[in-house]
Structure 1
Amino acid sequence: MRILVAEDEVKTRRYLFQGLHEQGFTVDVAKDGNAALALLREHVFDVCVLDVMLPGRDGWSVLQTLRKESILTQVIFLTARDHVEDRVRGFELGGDDYLVKPFAFAELVARIKNLARRGPHASETKMLQVGGLNFDLLRHHVERDGRVLSLTPKEYSLLLLLARQPGRVLSRTLIAESVWGACFDTQTNVVDVLVGRLRIKLDTGFSKPMLHTVRGVGYMLDAPDE
């Protein structure tokens, strides 16, 4: 199983990484909400252990964005917030479990394994298709109408971000935050340069483009009409 631990407190993050690794899990870590969201968009995780009070973007916002984008990774909230309304909010947003700090590590492991027995949502998202564009998310492999696209990690992250929300225009700010996990100066053209490189690889040789520019707004991916 592959686990993402999103926790800003250094000692707790290290403790969870070490403990879960010793249990045989593959473990990635994020120290803020933006980094967590970027990882969850780019990779397939079985479970995310998500702190609520994260810097940059809190756990509520991370989960809400995941579910809006149909990313169904199972989420266990790990937080010091023990109010009933907080637990209710977590479940209403699409969370799968809720564990209050301080916690017993053995209980966390048991809850992760319990979610695995229920059937990880992430297994439902190993493949993604938008028109003739096909993703194998486990291998980071992408084809358009049978032609393999050789993408850099940033190009892949951008294309996957757009493909998870086909037909929706994404702003440059949102793209920068998602792909780089940080806020960029809106006056720079780093997003436009990346989009230009991706467009060459994605659309060259095809009669109808998939990657579109909406002037003054951002970019969108859409399947060509049959």
Structure 2
Amino acid sequence: MPSDLNQELYLGGLLEGLKFTIVDVTPSVPDRSGWGATFSNPSAGSKTSNGNGDFDYLHCPFEIKGGEKIGTTKLTANSGLYSTGQGGKVDIKFHLEGKTTVNGSEVHINDDGYISVSASDWKGLERPDVSNVTYYWPNSPPCNAALTVPPSIAGMPDDIFFVHAAKPDAKELGMTSTTHQEVVDMVLNYAIRGIFWVNEKLFSWAIGPFKPF
């Protein structure tokens, strides 16, 4: 039977004055044949959907500081040795709020955002090839980070780190991600100047409009 597929999510960094809060988490499965989807946070607990039903031991909302783990998602195959097709997913809603200084201007932020973790198709006796981490702002195009799943049973996709930025002049809010923790500080250095830094070590920027504070 294929092993579990775990994805570690981190808040890579946060501009001074902003607060990042997990508002709601929804694990879901395509049916009750044995598929499983779980979200867990070291301090807030866990929430699961599987063949036996839905189990909520997660205390929402909860705040995440810059550099801390948002949580771990665990996707499991359905019962039996041969699991094919789309499995479960985990949808996460967060809220970003506060005021910070960007390029010398005070910026007020009060926005919801979303992160969704799923996978490519399960392949019989093998796990999916890709862990899909999708992130977006409401009513704006989503971005997807496709993370390779190692072929070994014990191997897991790389950890992913999220960073946010703002462009006051354009009234835009941005969110990017990376599997290279060492570039997070550079992203933040550009962010305080109102620049959505583009680099080969970053996935795409999800961009949306400011919501009134």
Provide TM-score, normalisation by structure 1: 0.27
Say which structure, 1 or 2, has more relative contact order (CA 8 Å, 6+ apart): 2
Structure number with the higher strand fraction is 2
Structure number with the higher helix fraction is 1
Provide TM-score, normalisation by structure 2: 0.28
